[in-house]
Chains A and B, each alone.
Chain A
Amino acid sequence: MSDLLVVKDLKKYFSTPAGQLRAVDGVSFTIPRGRTMGVVGESGCGKSTLGRAILQLHKPTGGEVLFDGQDVAAMSKAQFNKIRPRMQMIFQDPYSSLNGRMTVQQLIAEPLIVNKVCKNRWEIDEKVEKMMDTVGLAKRLTLAYPHELDGGRRQRIGVARALILDPAFIVCDEPVSALDVSIQAQILNPLMDLQEELGLTYLFITHDLSVVKHISQEIMVMYMGKCVEKAPAEEIFLHPTHPYTRALMDAIPIPSIESKHKVRQIIQGEVTSPINPKPGCRFAARCPHAMERCTRGDVEMREVSPGHLVACTLEEGQRND
């Protein structure tokens, strides 16, 4: 079996005083071993909740998460704790995700201690030292505290903490969005190198389409808890099909002299509330092509070309732009 992660109809609802907030509403996908799935969407679309639900940091409301063929959502806590070291996460903000009172050495060693992986201190020290080298942290920083380091180095600690348990699968939740562009590449390149070296599988969550293009083989676009389009990375950039995907791509400012006089279609309006959403396509309220049938019932994903799935009722050639 070559698919490391299979997610089937995953749902995560939160109860709020106003009603049911459908953060993730029936998302399905698979990631083959050693590959990267990029998840793109705007704030509030449920991409972080998706990552957390897969790792059981939020208990899913429904659906299956098969990791290496086993359903982790149905496992007991004791069973899952055995698998947890194999599924790790890199968090978004290296300023708040690290304990400011721990040294670099302690931070990277913590997962080893929590999971009782090592027999003695020497083994821990050795592993930490090796890991610091892997992620490019100088040895002299062993006893430094996070506040002494810049954002790029702090995020390297985050990467080291995720990698030290020798995982097979890592959820990268916006690992570079808090960093300057010239530093972003200093994290993205090692992530890609390590993937090749160790055969890691990533779920890469970001709002930045250009970052996701670089790192992923397959890309999934989310809007209000639903996956609206899913395709191989090249394909989705060549033939974006869902009106939301197109709007998202059109909205990115391109650093080139030609974009000065570019006339772009700007989608109006904002993301509506995901609490008790109306039936049908969630994007219909902002969509320039919305028709009556878009809001009648749930829009199923359909395949427009091999591996390219879209949840939109528009047929090819019906678009009037």
Chain B
Amino acid sequence: MSEQILSIQDLSVIYKTDLETVYAVNHISLDLNAGETLGLVGETGAGKTTTALGVMGLLPERTARVTSGRILLQGDDLLKKKELEMQRVRGEKISMIFQDPMTALNPVLTVEDQIGEALYLHNAEELTAAQISKRVEAILEQVGIPKERKKEYPYQFSGGMRQRVVIAIALVCNPLLLIADEPTTALDVTIQAQILSMICDLQRHFGTSVIMITHDLGIVAETCDKVGIMYAGQIVEYGTLEDIFTGDRHHPYTVGLFNSIPSLTDHARRLKPIEGLMPDPTSLPEGCAFAPRCQSCMEICKRQAPPVIDRDGHRICCHLFGTEGEGKA
């Protein structure tokens, strides 16, 4: 179970328009092994979705540029692939669950057609129409939809049920990697619990690796093995679930993020927000991007980009830990 599926190395993505350049993703690196779940956490605009679209090869053609890095899927660099080759990868090896099930489905096709489409397009086993229909029925049952409903259209399903259809589409080709981009943000908590436990069950069943993109640290705690905390296009802290949720060496942003969550168990009445706002991605500050909001900001933070301090795979991108002389800059 330790085969490496995905490795992103030093990836940078910019969006360039006539007026401005948005630095959406800045030099991020991460690894994912078979059967593992990686959580990418961050606020709106942190670059989570851009990273996912980069892996999928779905970045908007006209504006987005990958300026550095490699994305290796089982050792194969996806960024070097031509569009036709990427079409074979998408849906078959990597698939994605989108945030909003209300808009991710085609309203004029039945769910059977939409799930079957992936099988027709990636028909390596040369399945007949009847076999494909059988597969669609099987996956519908697996995601908890009675197979009798396969001839129905998306509008006949509730939000939670539609997200189940989206998950069925993503998993029907048994991909190596599933990218779930805020899969439950549009759903109620009781439905969210149903969907998350289903994703985890199916992941175990198929042995799929998952990248779980979310802003909810609670979801991360329940589903992920590894976590990357993103801020202004960078992974500011990266490690195992234990690294991030325990211990006292953390990036100040991680600490702020945990403190700002209203807790169900804590009795403090006042919340601790992170003062200020995420910097404008068109003009990131020199030095550390978090420096203007950071409580432990030092002089050096404003001038120089922080080094990545790596201790047994727990990476923190902060000057605070650079002075200890144990990290490699």
Contacts of A248 in B (CB 8 A): 189-190
Q: Mark B248-291, 1 if CB is under 8 A from A, else 0.
A: 00000000111011111100011111110100000000000000
Cβ–Cβ contact A42 & B261, under 8 A: no
State in angstroms the CA–CA spacing of A42 and B184 once bound together. Answer: 14
| One of A4-12, A99-107, A120-128, A252-260 at the interface | A252-260
| One of B65-73, B115-123, B214-222 at the interface | B214-222
A window 193-216: CB within 8 A of B: 207-211, 213-214
| One of A59-67, A78-86, A266-274, A292-300 at the interface | A266-274
Contacts of A186 in B (CB 8 A): 273, 275
Tell me whether B43 is interfacial, beta carbon within 8 Å: yes
Q: Mark A163-188, 1 if CB is under 8 A from B, else 0.
A: 00000000000000000111111101
Tell me whether B152 is interfacial, beta carbon within 8 Å: no
State in angstroms the CA–CA spacing of A186 and B270 once bound together. Answer: 11
State in angstroms the CA–CA spacing of A87 and B258 once bound together. Answer: 35
Residue of B nearest to A213 (CB): B264
Contacts of B262 in A (CB 8 A): 184-185, 188, 208, 210-211, 213-214
Cβ–Cβ contact A251 & B245, under 8 A: no
Cβ–Cβ contact B245 & A182, under 8 A: no
State in angstroms the CA–CA spacing of A256 and B218 once bound together. Answer: 7
Contacts of B161 in A (CB 8 A): 270
Cβ–Cβ contact B273 & A210, under 8 A: no
Tell me whether B300 is interfacial, beta carbon within 8 Å: no
For residue B103, give the distance in angstroms from its CB to the closest CB of chain A. 17
B window 198-215: CB within 8 A of A: 215
Cβ–Cβ contact A192 & B270, under 8 A: yes
Contacts of B233 in A (CB 8 A): none
Cβ–Cβ contact A255 & B220, under 8 A: yes
Contacts of B221 in A (CB 8 A): 253-257, 259-260
Contacts of A180 in B (CB 8 A): 43-44, 215
Tell me whether A189 is interfacial, beta carbon within 8 Å: yes
Tell me whether B246 is interfacial, beta carbon within 8 Å: yes
Cβ–Cβ contact B241 & A182, under 8 A: no
Residue of B nearest to A286 (CB): B190
Q: Of A151, A184, A249, which is within 8 A of B260 by CB?
A: A184
Interface of A is mostly: helix
- Chain B CB within 10 Å, residue with most, of A151, A183, A192, A211: A183
State in angstroms the CA–CA spacing of A182 and B271 once bound together. Answer: 10
Contacts of A188 in B (CB 8 A): 262, 271
Q: Mark A255-294, 1 if CB is under 8 A from B, else 0.
A: 1110110101011101100000000000000000000000
Cβ–Cβ contact B246 & A251, under 8 A: no
State in angstroms the CA–CA spacing of A115 and B263 once bound together. Answer: 40
Q: A254-B218, A257-B241, A270-B160 are in contact. Are A181 and B270 (CB under 8 A)?
A: no
Tell me whether A314 is interfacial, beta carbon within 8 Å: no
State in angstroms the CA–CA spacing of A192 and B268 once bound together. Answer: 13
Cβ–Cβ contact A252 & B264, under 8 A: yes
Q: Of A42, A213, A260, A271, which is within 8 A of B189 by CB?
A: A42
Residue of A nearest to B260 (CB): A182
Tell me whether A20 is interfacial, beta carbon within 8 Å: no
Contacts of B275 in A (CB 8 A): 186
Tell me whether A21 is interfacial, beta carbon within 8 Å: no
State in angstroms the CA–CA spacing of A184 and B43 once bound together. Answer: 12
Please report the total number of A residues contacting B with Cβ < 8 Å: 43
State in angstroms the CA–CA spacing of A266 and B218 once bound together. Answer: 16
Tell me whether B53 is interfacial, beta carbon within 8 Å: no
Cβ–Cβ contact B260 & A214, under 8 A: no
Tell me whether B156 is interfacial, beta carbon within 8 Å: no
Tell me whether A97 is interfacial, beta carbon within 8 Å: no
Q: A254-B221, A257-B246 are in contact. Are A181 and B43 (CB under 8 A)?
A: yes
Cβ–Cβ contact B189 & A251, under 8 A: yes
Tell me whether A70 is interfacial, beta carbon within 8 Å: no
State in angstroms the CA–CA spacing of A209 and B192 once bound together. Answer: 14
State in angstroms the CA–CA spacing of A132 and B191 once bound together. Answer: 39
For residue B166, give the distance in angstroms from its CB to the closest CB of chain A. 16
Q: A43-B188, A210-B264 are in contact. Are A255 and B194 (CB under 8 A)?
A: no
Tell me whether A301 is interfacial, beta carbon within 8 Å: no
Contacts of A255 in B (CB 8 A): 216-218, 220-221, 245, 258, 261
Tell me whether B242 is interfacial, beta carbon within 8 Å: yes
Contacts of A133 in B (CB 8 A): none
Q: Mark B302-320, 1 if CB is under 8 A from A, else 0.
A: 0000000000000000000
State in angstroms the CA–CA spacing of A9 and B293 once bound together. Answer: 48
Tell me whether A303 is interfacial, beta carbon within 8 Å: no
For residue A6, give the distance in angstroms from its CB to the closest CB of chain B. 26
State in angstroms the CA–CA spacing of A259 and B265 once bound together. Answer: 13
Would you give 24 A-B contacts (Cβ < 8 Å), ordered by A?
A42-B188, A150-B277, A151-B44, A181-B260, A185-B262, A185-B271, A185-B273, A188-B271, A189-B271, A207-B188, A207-B189, A210-B262, A211-B262, A213-B262, A251-B192, A253-B193, A253-B218, A254-B265, A255-B245, A257-B242, A257-B245, A260-B241, A264-B193, A266-B194
- Chain A positions within 8 Å of B, measured between CB atoms, are 42-43, 150-152, 180-186, 188-189, 192, 207-211, 213-214, 237, 247-257, 259-260, 262, 264, 266-268, 270-271
8 pairs of A and B residues whose beta carbons are closest in the complex? A253-B218, A185-B273, A185-B271, A255-B217, A42-B188, A251-B193, A210-B262, A180-B43
Contacts A192-B270, A254-B218 aside, 17 further interface pairs with beta carbons under 8 A come to A180-B43, A181-B215, A183-B273, A184-B260, A186-B273, A186-B275, A189-B271, A207-B189, A214-B262, A248-B189, A253-B219, A254-B264, A255-B217, A255-B258, A259-B222, A266-B193, A268-B194
